[in-house]
Structure 1
Amino acid sequence: MTPPVLHPTSAVGEVTLLARDLPRLHAFYRDLLRLTDLETGPGHVTLGVPGRPLLTLRAAPDLPTPAPGRPGLYHTAFLMPTRAELGRWLGHAARLNLRIGSGDHLVSEAFYLNDPEGNGIEVYADRPRDTWTWQNGQVRMDTLPVDAQAVFDAGEGQPYAAAPAGLTVGHVHLKVGSAAQAAQFYRDTLGLDVVSHFPGAAFLSWGGYHHHVGLNEWESRGQGRPAAPATGLHGVTFTTPDLAPLRAHLHGQEGVEDHGDALTLHDPWGNLITVRAQA
């Protein structure tokens, strides 16, 4: 039997953003999620929880802000390990006086906002997997009102003092020129399964998750690879326990670079994809 392109336990690692105002964006994410600085250097900082990088910010003060219809990041989705942690974070976010949207997606409860440079953010918690509804390989999702009070009450009034150790980037959602073309690329290149469709959108995952990658063309339909760089999304890292099947799968393909412990390539809209072997 041919092994899968990537192991079913593969997941999103970290997201890299290009920032016009690095100190401001750094402070925003540190305060929003109570992340820890894991690595700092001239013109960049990596934040996360101990042992797990989640977000790298790179200074790009000379780049323009992306136009609304430009392909790139729709949101980075930070997954809280429990509903209680999400409730504690919600209380923390309310005290920061942030404008927050929400959505009950049946598989999860989510809250949405933008960072100071317009990059989308989702903070969410999953419902138990045994409550998800699957039919013919497709998971049922929707966007309904969230009972925010119930989520807040799940936090039992406890403070959100620091990012929980189990915080991860649960998924990344991208704006693309064609959701169908993008879904084919991520399925054929990285072995993701298409697990849900909406008008102008597709959702893909490994291992029966509701989605590790979201793709939509709602604002960017028909757009190709941008001709010039801008701030916002630079790239996404995925992690996997075994790179060998992917290395064999991509052997000889143009644009693929092998760094030993990682492979890099670009999607059709120029987003850098790094697939790294888990340490």
Structure 2
Amino acid sequence: MAYPVEIDRVALRVRDLPAMTAWYREALGLNVRSQDRSSVELGTADKTLLELRGDPALRPGDPRQAGLFHNAFLLPSRADLSRWLAFAAQSNLALQGAADHGVSDALYLADPEGNGIEIYADRPVSEWNRQGDTIEMYTHRLDLDKLLAESSGAWQGIPEGSIIGHVHLQVGDLGDAYDFMAGRLGLTQTYDARGGLWFGSGGYHHQLAGNVWNSRGAGRRPTDMPGLDEVVLRINDTARAQIGEGARLDDPWGTPFLLEDAA
């Protein structure tokens, strides 16, 4: 493991399992790793990154609820990000944004049921600006023409080595988010901005973040809505010593975090 705590995979509740499966295969190039009537596991050829759990009885989602802001798929290189951007342009995929964050270059979109997605590539760690535990992050314009010009070869689906680099959550209260992410999970706050906090493990810019931009004051998440169902964390011995025993922690808004010890 590169870090004491890493995102292993994420599960979403979805209303239309076949349509959502097809979208993730086509738009992100994820592979179906296993499936049954009610769920599908998707990822690279050798790793599950996302599980979709279908339930057509779910009522429509509410963007003001706590839950997922976005899942962030970390590609191995900026060249991979460039190839995906070229594919997205050719496929008429609608982007919701693009940003130079100082530590990474990021592209944003949403799936058909409104789950936020970030596709990103990290900058070299040597280029990150650190001041103690704080890592400078910002949102500047990303030069898409320059990124496209770096594209070499066609997008062939999500490349090996891609992971869920971080999960950004909608939360009801930043103090409660801090208590959970730093106090319970043992992460270090690496950055803050108006309405948001970022938390990293082992010097990474962030594995988890939370904001109240849409969800300030939200209570526990309804269980009959689509969206985030659980986050699975992979933790090493150092993190286990900090977190303590147990296979599950729920955040203050009812999202389960499953803890799996690294092999």
Query: Can you list the C-alpha shifts for 1:88-111, whole angstroms capped at 9, x where unaligned?
Result: 011111122111111111111100
Is the partner of 2:141 in helix, strand or coil? coil
Structure 2 gaps of 5+ residues are: none
Aligned-pair CA distance for 1:125 = 0.5
Root-mean-square deviation (CA), in Å?
Answer: 1.8
Choose from 116, 127, 140 the match for 1:144.
140
Q: TM-score, normalised by structure 2?
A: 0.95
**How has the CA–CA distance of structure 1 residues 241 and 89 changed in structure 2, closer, same or farther, with 3 Å as cutoff?**
same
Do residues 85 (structure 1) and 80 (structure 2) align?
yes
Residue of structure 2 equivalent to 1:73: 68
Aligned-pair CA distance for 1:226 = 2.7
**How has the CA–CA distance of structure 1 residues 77 and 249 changed in structure 2, closer, same or farther, with 3 Å as cutoff?**
closer
Residue of structure 2 equivalent to 1:21: 16
Higher alpha-carbon deviation: 30-39 or 68-77 = 30-39
Choose from 131, 149, 157 the match for 2:127.
131
**Map 1:1-279 → 2, pairs under 5 A:** 8-100=3-95, 101-156=97-152, 158-242=153-237, 245-246=240-241, 249-251=243-245, 258=246, 263-279=247-263
Preserved CA contact (<8 Å) 1:180 1:202: no
Give the number of equivalent residue pairs: 262
Preserved CA contact (<8 Å) 1:33 1:162: yes
Higher alpha-carbon deviation: 209-218 or 90-99 = 90-99
**How has the CA–CA distance of structure 1 residues 221 and 159 changed in structure 2, closer, same or farther, with 3 Å as cutoff?**
same
Preserved CA contact (<8 Å) 2:27 2:93: no
Aligned-pair CA distance for 1:34 = 1.1
**How has the CA–CA distance of structure 1 residues 42 and 242 changed in structure 2, closer, same or farther, with 3 Å as cutoff?**
farther
Is the partner of 1:215 in helix, strand or coil? strand
For the residues of structure 2 that align with 1:214 and 1:266, how far apart are their CA atoms? 15
For the residues of structure 2 that align with 1:107 and 1:264, how far apart are their CA atoms? 30
Query: Can you list the C-alpha shifts for 1:172-220, whole angstroms capped at 9, x where unaligned?
Result: 0000001222022111111100000001100001011111001000111
For the residues of structure 2 that align with 1:275 and 1:208, how far apart are their CA atoms? 20
Query: Can you list the C-alpha shifts for 1:100-142, whole angstroms capped at 9, x where unaligned?
Result: 1111111111000010000000000011110000113101111
Q: TM-score, normalised by structure 1?
A: 0.89
**How has the CA–CA distance of structure 1 residues 195 and 37 changed in structure 2, closer, same or farther, with 3 Å as cutoff?**
same
For the residues of structure 1 that align with 2:227 and 2:68, how far apart are their CA atoms? 7
1:271 aligned partner, one-letter code: T
**How has the CA–CA distance of structure 1 residues 275 and 228 changed in structure 2, closer, same or farther, with 3 Å as cutoff?**
closer
For the residues of structure 2 that align with 1:87 and 1:176, how far apart are their CA atoms? 32
Is the partner of 1:106 in helix, strand or coil? coil
Aligned-pair CA distance for 1:249 = 4.2
Residue of structure 2 equivalent to 1:254: none
2:54 aligned partner, one-letter code: A
Aligned-pair CA distance for 1:229 = 2.7
